[in-house]
Amino acid sequence: MMNRAFALFFAAVLFLIAPSLYAFSNKTEPVALKNFTLNLEGFGTIQPSSSYEIVAKHSGILTDFNILPGQELKEGQALFGILPTVSQAELLSQKVKVREARIALDFTRKQYDRIKKLFSGHAAYAKEMQRIQKRYDTARAVYQKTKSELQLLTGTVRYETPQTGVAGKLYFREGEFVKKGDTVLEIFSCRKLLVKSEIFDKNDGLKKGLKAEIITQYGNIDTKVASVSAIVEPNGAKEVFFLLNQSTCRFKPGLFVKTRVTLSQRLSLAVPDESLLKLNEKTVVLVQTDGGIEERVVQTGTSQAGYTQILSGLRKGEEVITQGAYELLHKDIKQKIKILD
C-alpha cells in the first residue's frame, strides 16, 4: 500500500512541475539573415563532343583486336593488326615498282651529285641545280612510298591510338576480313565532353554562362551553362548543355550525372529547420516573447545547411524556439500558448 501511495504522490508531483521542466529544456535562436543560393537541379548523361575513326589502310584479316566498348585508351596504345591478303601477282607487281623507284632514285642522285660538283657556287646555274634537287626529292619520296606499300603487303601492320580517348562502337571482330577504307572502330575524345541534362525552369531563369556543378559518383566538377534549348520537352523540362574539360579520362561518355545550376544568391531571414512545425497543414514556429510563447504561421522558401528561408511571418531578431518546440506544441501545456495567425 505504501509503495502504491508513493507512486501516486510522485506522479502528481511530476504533473504539477511538468510545465517548468519543459521550460527549462527549451532553447531559442534569433531570426537572422542568411545567405541563400537559388539552385535548379536536373539529371543527365555525359556525351562525347568529338570523335574520330580508325580506318583500315589496306585489306586483310583483323588480328590482336581485344578492345572493348567504353575502354579507356592511352595515346600510342596498340589497337589491332591487319594481316594482308594478297596474290602472288600483286606482290610481284609491287616488288617491280620498288625496283623501278630505286633505279630512278639512284639515277637522279648521281645526276644531282654531278651537277652540284660542277656548278656549285655559280649563280648562273642556280635554277638548274634547284630543278635537279626537286627531281631528286621527288624520286626519293616515290621510293619510300613504294617500299612502305611493299611492307604492308608482306607483314602484319599494327595500328595504335593516335590520342587518349575511350573506345566507342566496334565495327569488326578479330579474325574478320576488312577492306581498305573500312572503319574498324570509333574513339571518343574524353578530354572535351558534353553534358546533356533536363532541368525544370518555370521562371525562365536558365541562361548561358551561369555557374554550374556536375555531380557524379566519382566526384564533382565546376563548369558553366554552355547553352539552353529553346524547346520545352513534353514533361515540361528544358535541355541544358554543359562543357566538361579534363586532362584524363576520369569521366567517360555514358555516365549518369546530377546537374546543379546557380541562378542567384541573396540574403534572407532564416530559422533553424528544427524550429519549423506542421499544424493543420500550415507551417508554424513558436516565438519566445516577453509576454510568453506565441505561435506564428510562416511562409517558407528554400532550405540550405540546416536553415530555412522565411518569406513572411517573422522579423529579424525575434527568438524562435528550437529545442523543445515540438513538445510545447503537442503536449498538454499547449493551451498556455497565445495563438497569433
Question: Each residue of 284-314: pLDDT tens digit?
Answer: 999 988 888 888 899 998 888 899 989 999 9
Band (204; pLDDT cuts 50, 70, 90): confident
| pLDDT attached to residue 21 | 45
Band (326; pLDDT cuts 50, 70, 90): confident
| pLDDT attached to residue 261 | 94
Question: Each residue of 259-283: pLDDT tens digit?
Answer: 999 988 788 899 999 889 988 888 9
Burial class (CB in 10 A: 0-12, 13-18, 19+), 11: exposed
Residue 230 predicted with pLDDT over 90: no
Mean pLDDT of 11-15: 51
- 3-state DSSP call for residue 172? coil
pTM of the model: 0.53
Cα separation values, 331 from 326, 334, 335, 336, Å: 8, 6, 9, 11
The three cell numbers of residue 124 are: 648562273
The three cell numbers of residue 168 are: 566507342
User: Which of 25-39, 68-82, 174-188, 301-315 shows the lowest mean pLDDT across its residues?
Assistant: 25-39
Diameter over CA atoms, the chain: 139
User: Whole-angstrom Cα distance, residue 302 to residue 265?
Assistant: 12
One-letter amino acid at 92 equals L
Helical spans, DSSP H, in the chain: 2-25, 88-119, 126-154, 325-330
User: Which of 20-24, 230-234, 253-257, 310-314 shows the lowest mean pLDDT across its residues?
Assistant: 20-24
Indicate the average pLDDT of the chain. 83
| pLDDT attached to residue 8 | 54
Which domains does the chain show, CATH number per domain? 21-34+267-340 (2.40.420.20), 40-49+189-266 (2.40.30.170), 52-187 (1.10.287.470)
Stated as kind and residue range, the H or E segment containing 84 is strand 78-84
Choice between 119 and 319, residue whose per-residue pLDDT is larger: 319
One-letter amino acid at 102 equals R
Cα separation values, 130 from 50, 107, 119, 121, 126, Å: 44, 16, 12, 13, 6
Mean pLDDT of 154-182: 90
Q: What is the DSSP letter of 203?
A: T
